[in-house]
């Protein structure tokens, strides 16, 4: 049974860990209720989700699993109201993560870190959405409250937020990968599931 086709077992694994990942994003996403806390989420999100993702990465032996996760999550966030931006953010990054993990070698820690950084970039969907929605929001503000107010507001929600978010996510992912590895050795091996 050493072929590259995804079996039923693999697909169930995809389902379980996609669900776990989504729940973890939800838990940390509580910070998102207030946009100012986005930076915290960008850093903390990858660290928390690293715990299920390390488990997931260990079980991945075939190409395609991460891509399917990405497809489902993209559709899920679209349905939850994060617009087409979620599709654009999540699906390509998941595909890229999948390719990288395949190329660099499955079950290697270094490959996992690189792949995980790209997979986490899907989280940009949240702030990107706010950023794009922000553009029309700015116009509304400018009309109703005047230029001065809008400029003051821009200090708190700057447009250079996106590159910072990318850096934060990358940092968070690297830290997260190590946290995940530690968790793996500390808990999961003991419990016998890894």
Q: Name which position in 42, 55, 90, 96 contacts other proteins (CB under 8 A).
A: 55
Q: Name which position in 105, 109, 145, 158 contacts other proteins (CB under 8 A).
A: 145
Q: Name which position in 18, 115, 120, 173 contacts other proteins (CB under 8 A).
A: 18
What is the C-alpha separation between 164 and 167, in angstroms, rounded? 5
Binding string, residues 103-142; x marks residues near other proteins by CB under 8 A: ------------------------------x--xx-----
Query: Counting contacts by CB under 8 A, is residue 64 touching other proteins?
Result: yes
Q: Name which position in 48, 100, 121, 123 contacts other proteins (CB under 8 A).
A: 48
Q: For residues 71 and 166, which CB has a smaller minimum distance to other proteins in the complex?
A: 71
Contacts of 45 (CB under 8 A, 6+ apart): 25, 28, 29, 120, 123, 169, 172
What is the C-alpha separation between 167 and 183, in angstroms, rounded? 24
Contacts of 105 (CB under 8 A, 6+ apart): 111
Query: Counting contacts by CB under 8 A, is residue 35 touching other proteins?
Result: yes
Q: Name which position in 103, 162, 167, 193 contacts other proteins (CB under 8 A).
A: 193
Minimum gap (Å) between residue 98 Cβ and other proteins: 13
60: left (phi over 0), alpha (psi -120 to 50) or beta: beta
Query: Counting contacts by CB under 8 A, is residue 172 touching other proteins?
Result: no
CB 150 within 8 A of CB 138: yes
H-helix or E-strand spanning residue 163:
helix 161-183
Query: Counting contacts by CB under 8 A, is residue 93 touching other proteins?
Result: no
What is the C-alpha separation between 145 and 152, in angstroms, rounded? 11
CB 176 within 8 A of CB 50: yes
Can you tell me whether residue 16 is helix, strand or coil? Answer: helix
What is the C-alpha separation between 129 and 124, in angstroms, rounded? 8
Query: Counting contacts by CB under 8 A, is residue 68 touching other proteins?
Result: yes
* Binding positions for other proteins, rule: CB under 8 A: 6-9, 11-16, 18-20, 22-24, 27, 33-36, 48, 51-52, 55, 64, 68-69, 71-72, 78-83, 133, 136-137, 144-145, 149, 152-153, 156, 183, 187-188, 191, 193
């Amino acid at each position: 049974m050493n072929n590259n086709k995804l079996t039923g077992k693999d697909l169930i694994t995809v389902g379980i860990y996609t669900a776990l990942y989504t729940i973890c994003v939800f838990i940390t996403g509580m910070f998102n209720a207030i946009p100012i806390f986005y930076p915290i989420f960008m850093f903390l999100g990858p660290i928390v989700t690293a715990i299920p993702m390390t488990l997931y990465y260990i079980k991945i032996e075939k190409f395609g699993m991460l891509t399917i996760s990405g497809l489902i999550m993209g559709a899920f966030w679209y349905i939850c109201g994060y617009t087409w931006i979620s599709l654009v953010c999540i699906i390509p990054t998941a595909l890229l993560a999948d390719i990288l993990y395949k190329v660099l070698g499955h079950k290697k820690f270094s490959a996992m870190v690189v792949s995980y950084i790209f997979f986490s970039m899907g989280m940009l969907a949240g702030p990107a959405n706010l950023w794009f929605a922000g553009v029309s929001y700015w116009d509304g503000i400018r009309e109703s409250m005047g230029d001065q107010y809008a400029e003051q507001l821009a200090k708190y929600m700057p447009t250079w937020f996106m590159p910072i978010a990318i850096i934060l996510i990358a940092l968070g992912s690297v830290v997260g990968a190590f946290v995940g590895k530690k968790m793996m050795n500390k808990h999961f091996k003991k419990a016998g599931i890894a």
